[in-house]
Structure 1
Amino acid sequence: MLPPGDFALKDTSPVLGHVGEKHISHDLVEKMQYLYVRVVKARDLVAKDLGGSSDPYVKVKVGEGYPAKTEIRKRSVNPVWNQVFAFGKDKIQGPTVEITVWDADKVSKDDFLGFVQFDLTEISKRVPPESPLAPQWYKLEPGRKGDVHVRGEIMLAVWWGTQADEAFSEAWQSDSGGHYHNKAKVYMSPKLWYLRVNVIEAQDLIPSEKNRLPEVSVRVQLGGTQVYKTKVSANRTNSPFWNQDMVFVAAEPFEEHLVLTVEDRVGGNKEEVLGVVKIPLKEVDRRIDHRLVNTRWFNLEKNGEKPFRGRLHLRVCFDGGYHVMDESTHHISDTRPTAKQLWKASMGVLEIGILSAKNLVPMKSRDGRSTTDAYCVAKYGQKWVRTRTCMDSFSPRWHEQYTWEVHDPCTVLTIGVFDNCHTKDEPGEKVSSGRDNPIGKVRIRVSTLESDRVYTNSYPLLVLQRSGVKKTGELELAVRFSCTSVLNMMHIYFTPPLPKMHYLHPLGVIELEQLRNIAIRIVSLRLARSEPPLRQEVVHYMLDTDSNMWSMRRSKVNYYRMLGVLSGAIAVTKWFSDICQWKNPLTTVLVHILFLILVWYPELILPTLFLYMFLIGAWHYRFRPRAPPYMDARLSQAEHVEHDELDEEFDTFPTSKSPDIVKHRYERLRMVASRIQSVLGDLASQGERLNALLSWRDPRATAIFITFCLVAAILLYVIPLRVVAVLLGIYALRHPRFRNRVPPVPMNFFRRLPSYADRIL
């Protein structure tokens, strides 16, 4: 087990600053120097093939490092490549850069066509370059052996730059190995809509058996996975009625059809298709509020034939007033509705510099040694970003900066670190079956950040495994939130967190969770089809797909969280008990004086209360958090969790364990659930006893209570309220020698009131 200090957030002091005058957006990262080589084209090369041409390609080698290669241009003596190579200065192991041209040969060794060499000390340094250096023609020189069969020229540009250079994103990069799936990429989530289908009725259906009352239902399907079915119509006629709503998730561009199948249950589980309706999603109406769209009648078809077989009455529309959930509401990053007409202007900008990581754990083996190929994924709103992969490094340095618009400060940025298991996949190749395993995750709530302040911290990367919590490294980030309008941001705090449609016509909790799972599946499939793909396991990890699965550990977390919430009330109760017990006579006397003042001047009660809260808040300002929040292993109950509980948490659904293990876990779950059941029962009993005061379920108790109420009403009418308050206060604060250890009379009376507990089987 790691010591607690290893799980803590650490302050860092990276050397941040503008990478270049025209690259203000790169002021949250450190400057990284690269040697850029742009290979544009060549002309008048020697023909090495029998057909009077060559298959040329170029090797770029810096020092003793492994050379980078351009693509091969088939049958050409005037090839065009226009490719850029970026070599990190920290990886350059020599004084020269050598560009050689070769003719690819499948049968024998590749033929040498010439080379150009530059001395690194002679290359003018441009840090950062205002624009890529203009390419020039260079004459190809023969090899060291004096090869006379060399001619032609090559157009090149060689310069020093930084990661802010315009050519960096498209360049072959030495620290990522130059592989296709290792480059940085920005992705956008597909735009998701809720599709509402109201199946109203059908008319003039033609069942196969005319002497039998039909049992008609409608099966509604969108895509291959979203299938819902109406109940069987209560009126068993040829014109059934349902008026049943269904909600689906659809993503732009709308290329699918909504398929409605009218079915008649003819016996057992057998169903006969009476007709089908196919509706292209492109033809569906859209709405931004709760106003009803027009209904339509659709003729039923069967087996592609169009003779009249009845018709179906539907109301179908896209609900643009909702926000389609694909994240948990606890760490949501976007709350805007789907319809852009309802969007409001952004109120700030969130910038993040993904600097580096250190002490990453080995994630796989390559060539008989342990290694890690790490990259980061950040998600906020609809925008996903992925850094380049730093090959074979336990302390990768990315120094990439990204920006998001902020529309709501009470949202969460998520950054995950992954090991790339597809470092050699290329476009058009069959994708390997490995999974990009997570190394850790960081969440930062925007509202916890001060405006225009740069936070530089090293976040612990924690992963929960079957063996327990494990620290897999540290991720260094630079984060800044800039607010464009303070008034607009303050106004947002008084508006509902979600769009109005979630409150005017709310969706059920279970329905929302089902729709969220569908939305996650759609997003993961779309991003997996991008080039290069953002894989499904990465999307699922970032969106916490299994956050609602049962876990003994999470149950303990919520239990201790509840205790933490109640700790304030418990502390106040204990303080008041100490006052009543006169443990500190001076404090008790001061409380008596304050109590008498408030009773005599009741108009001071509320001002005193609010002033007291103001003073507490002002005092706590000195102890405010100085760093963003981070994943807390202790809060997550991950430091001392039992191995069997972790094994249960990582079990599949349905379970893959033996019956004996399942039985043991079931018995344990029953024990925990019994405690929860007892607590909920006690809370319900207290509420039922309150109701019993006036319900005459206990005639004697109700008679006593209403008699007490009558006497109290008379006394309170006669005796001034201040006198009553003073008497009650003095009685509550009386000295311990006047106290009795038995419960007070009101508590005894309340506990004797009846509840429904004795009526439960």
Structure 2
Amino acid sequence: MQRPPQEDFDGGKVTGDMLTRTYDLVEQVQYLYVRVVKAKDLPGKDLDPYVEVRLGNYSGTTRHFVKKMNPEWNQVFAFSMDRTQVISVLEVNMKDKDDSVGRVMFDLNEIPKRVPPDSPLTPQWYRLEDGSGSKVKGELMLAVWMGTQADEAFPESWHSDAATVSGADALVNIRSKVYLSPKLWFPEVYVKAILGNQELITKVSRSKTINPIWNEDLIFVAAEPFEEPLILSVEDRVAPNKDVIVGKCLIHLQYIDRRLDHRPMNSKWYNLEKHVIVEGEREEIKFASRIHMSLYLEGGYHVLDEPIDYSGDLRPTAKQLQKSSIGVLELGILNARRLLPMKTKDGRASTDAYCVAKYGHKWVQTRTIIDSLSPKWNEQYTWEVFDPCTVITIGVFDNCHLHGGDKPGGQARDSRIGKVRIHLSALETDRVYSHSYPLLVFQSTGVKKIGEIHLAVRFTFSSLMNMMHLFSQPLLPKMHYIHPLIVEGSWNDKQTKMYNLRHQASQMVSMSLSRAEPPLRKEIVEYMLDVKSDMWSMRKIRANFLRIMDVLGGLIAIRKWFDQICNWKNPITTLVIHVLYRPRQPPFIDTRLSCADDAHPDELDEEFDTFPTSRRIDIVRIRYDRLKSIAGSMQNVAGDIANQLERLDSLLSWRDPTATKLFVISCLIAVIVLYFMGFRVVILVTGFYVLRHPWFHHNLPSAPLNFFTRLPARIDSML
């Protein structure tokens, strides 16, 4: 893991000293590091050189070169000293095919120790020797030192844990790795556009002239660096399923303007070109027309690539709008216990486990522990924290890409072992939480416990005042409230568009991380981002209903009391209620309440259909898909209601200690104000505030609403 430079605390900001703490959350493991840089003056001209590093029964080899006199490798090997305590000699062999060219021997007692963040050791030239100790022709540049897993060379090195794994691709697949999600932007355009695999089309222009008008907003998700251009085209629908391209325009996103607030951007004319085939062979580009657009990248929004209820980052995209960090999150991935075998290898059950942790835009992956049901990683990672109302996600997976690489056809997929979510606002500052969490995975056969993972977590904030101030701020950037991205359409249409944007964002993150080395594969990213969380599930809607019923226990008790009144369990109370209750007017049929005045013909046909259905299978399939879409929205509404009720309940259960303390202090202040000012004065002031002129209104949520939104719910504990 790359360690940042040490700095001092200044002005309540998170500095390098907090990020460069020692490996104190995990067990220190001693490693012998060998960096093989290059060789020179080797004998012969037809050598196929490579280097073998051997420590006892463990050995690793560099890349093989063909007929190269001065090869350069620059590879690092790490040997765990826990498994080689009785060995006293390190042997580095220079080989040609299977023949030995020479070797260099090291006494382990004379190898220097290096403690980060010391400067790295400078490689030195060593003369090769034969088996008898005599000098031979050729020199090898090496650096040898003792260190721990905190060493900066640890993530890129070959490990003795992988001694049984063959193949360069397999070795890459088990290394530790730190990943960074690409920074995502919202480019907003008017008219039809194609960006990568995203395609949006405006409605057919109502202006049936040679100057069509659309006046529509098309929103895409783009990832830095902006490699794919935006392709705009205007098409003329001359017949059903037949469109003629009037003109095209290709725009590179890195050259367009960026918007940081809600102020209007200048629009401009773009030339449309048309490709014409001349003389049957030669293609000629001609000017076709021009299109008027306002095209820009939105930097004031946060592009959600995961559900907002357990997101790890809520900052706007533009760096100019991002505030300084308020603390540091440290995670120690210690070990796992009682893992179930995930696959069969060489006729026996085994598991090759590794962990992936995601917080904000930074992803980390531990090394893979080969063939162990109780793997020990002892790796520590650090993140900057910008908002305490965020969640870190840790997933455990079985590596299925070892021993020869992927299966034919690319069908090999890393198996899910389980994941854990930890809400930062529930952690006390500067306290180390060391717990074992169950690893649960939900399959078609039901929920299954596959083992436990032992984690150590510490959250430290630099300024208590900054921390408390955040609870009065909106959860999302201000642009989401001042100028919402999606304004037009019904509530269901807005939810569908937001889901599509989040889906595109998660797909871009998945594609970006899959191109890293070693790759963070698509199935891993989608599982960590919970891509299919909005899909309809009877289990989820039932779980949300039970969450609501659990919080509404008091109201249920009131309902039972009301039933007792209706059943005359207490006659005196029932008579009093009869005196107070008088119906004012008789009930009547309300067509608007019944949604009968604007019912769609297809909805009426579905309602008056027979049971079982008598309609064609294609119509039933369309209606079923529509039902799943509507049910998914109902599921989200039920989950949102459960979230609000659980946030109220969290104030009494002290799930968020900081928020509860602020609430108690606010209640105490309110009691004092009511006592000295009087109830009438408070009501008068409140009335003037509520009825204030629109000039004094603003679109941002109030401080109490922001405080309530930041309270924790139990949705991050759901599968």
- The amino acid of 1:252's aligned partner reads E
Which segment drifts farther, 164-173 or 113-122? Answer: 113-122
Mapped partners of 1:66, 1:330: distance in 2 = 47
Which of residues 488, 513, 536 in structure 2 aligns to 1:527?
513
Mapped partners of 1:316, 1:77: distance in 2 = 56
- The amino acid of 1:511's aligned partner reads K
Aligned pairs for 1:208-223 (under 5 A) are: 219-223=192-196
- The amino acid of 1:556's aligned partner reads R
Q: Which residue of 2 aligns with 1:35?
A: 32
Mapped partners of 2:145, 2:265: distance in 1 = 62
2:147 matched to 1:161?
yes
- The amino acid of 1:492's aligned partner reads L
CA contact (8 A) 2:90 2:108 kept: no
Q: Which residue of 2 aligns with 1:321?
A: 300
CA distance 1:57–1:464, shift in 2 (3 Å): same
Which of residues 546, 550, 567 in structure 1 aligns to 2:532?
546
Q: Which residue of 2 aligns with 1:466?
A: 444
CA distance 1:165–1:241, shift in 2 (3 Å): closer
2:341 matched to 1:362?
yes
Relative to the length of structure 1, the TM-score reads 0.65
Q: Which residue of 2 aligns with 1:238?
A: 210
Aligned pairs for 1:673-692 (under 5 A) are: none
Which of residues 53, 60, 67 in structure 2 aligns to 1:60?
53
Mapped partners of 1:471, 1:459: distance in 2 = 11
Aligned pairs for 1:199-210 (under 5 A) are: 199=191
CA contact (8 A) 1:25 1:401 kept: no
Mapped partners of 2:325, 2:135: distance in 1 = 64
Mapped partners of 2:174, 2:415: distance in 1 = 15
- The amino acid of 1:58's aligned partner reads V
Mapped partners of 1:62, 1:282: distance in 2 = 51
Per-residue Cα deviation, 1:569-600 (whole angstroms, up to 9, x for no partner): 3346668999999x9xxxx9xxxxxxxxxxxx
Which segment drifts farther, 79-88 or 286-295? Answer: 79-88
Q: Per-residue deviation at 1:366?
A: 1.9
Which of residues 541, 544, 547 in structure 2 aligns to 1:561?
547
- The amino acid of 2:268's aligned partner reads R
Mapped partners of 2:37, 2:286: distance in 1 = 64
Per-residue Cα deviation, 1:525-582 (whole angstroms, up to 9, x for no partner): 111111111111110000011111111211210110110121133346668999999x
Aligned pairs for 1:157-556 (under 5 A) are: 157-177=143-163, 179-199=171-191, 219-223=192-196, 225-303=197-275, 307-423=286-402, 433-506=411-484, 507=486, 508-556=494-542
Q: Per-residue deviation at 1:489?
A: 1.1
5+ residue gaps, structure 2: 1-17, 166-170, 277-283, 487-493, 574-616, 639-719
Relative to the length of structure 2, the TM-score reads 0.69
Aligned pairs for 1:592-603 (under 5 A) are: none
CA contact (8 A) 1:100 1:113 kept: no
Mapped partners of 1:124, 1:521: distance in 2 = 47
Per-residue Cα deviation, 1:40-70 (whole angstroms, up to 9, x for no partner): 555555x3x5x4x53332222222x242112
- The amino acid of 2:363's aligned partner reads W
CA distance 1:505–1:195, shift in 2 (3 Å): same
Which segment drifts farther, 501-510 or 116-125? Answer: 116-125
Q: Which residue of 1 aligns with 2:676?
A: none
Q: Per-residue deviation at 1:118?
A: 4.5
CA distance 1:34–1:485, shift in 2 (3 Å): same
Q: Per-residue deviation at 1:291?
A: 1.1
Mapped partners of 2:372, 2:416: distance in 1 = 16
CA contact (8 A) 2:59 2:160 kept: no
Mapped partners of 1:431, 1:24: distance in 2 = 45
Which segment drifts farther, 69-78 or 536-545? Answer: 69-78
Number of equivalent positions: 547
Q: Which residue of 2 aligns with 1:112?
A: 100
Mapped partners of 1:340, 1:147: distance in 2 = 60
CA distance 1:72–1:479, shift in 2 (3 Å): same
CA distance 1:355–1:296, shift in 2 (3 Å): same
Matched position secondary structure for 1:463: strand
Which segment drifts farther, 373-382 or 36-45? Answer: 36-45
CA contact (8 A) 1:180 1:425 kept: no
Aligned pairs for 1:582-621 (under 5 A) are: none
Mapped partners of 1:76, 1:414: distance in 2 = 47
CA contact (8 A) 1:296 1:313 kept: yes
CA distance 1:468–1:125, shift in 2 (3 Å): same
Which segment drifts farther, 406-415 or 80-89? Answer: 80-89
Q: Per-residue deviation at 1:90?
A: 2.5
Q: Per-residue deviation at 1:126?
A: 6.5
Mapped partners of 2:550, 2:153: distance in 1 = 53
- The amino acid of 1:402's aligned partner reads Y
- The amino acid of 1:25's aligned partner reads T
Q: Per-residue deviation at 1:91?
A: 2.3
Mapped partners of 1:89, 1:67: distance in 2 = 14
CA contact (8 A) 2:300 2:316 kept: yes
- The amino acid of 1:386's aligned partner reads Q
Mapped partners of 1:80, 1:263: distance in 2 = 56
5+ residue gaps, structure 1: 1-20, 200-218, 589-658, 681-761
CA distance 1:126–1:235, shift in 2 (3 Å): closer
- The amino acid of 1:167's aligned partner reads A
Per-residue Cα deviation, 1:495-524 (whole angstroms, up to 9, x for no partner): 111111211222222211110001111110
CA distance 1:150–1:306, shift in 2 (3 Å): closer
- The amino acid of 2:61's aligned partner reads K
Matched position secondary structure for 2:554: helix
CA distance 1:295–1:34, shift in 2 (3 Å): same
CA distance 1:265–1:100, shift in 2 (3 Å): closer
CA contact (8 A) 1:95 1:121 kept: no
Q: Per-residue deviation at 1:242?
A: 1.9
Aligned pairs for 1:26-175 (under 5 A) are: 26-41=23-38, 45=42, 47=43, 51=45, 54-63=47-56, 65-75=57-67, 80-92=72-84, 94-105=86-97, 110-118=98-106, 120=108, 130=118, 140-143=128-131, 154=140, 156-175=142-161
CA distance 1:76–1:300, shift in 2 (3 Å): closer
CA contact (8 A) 1:132 1:167 kept: no
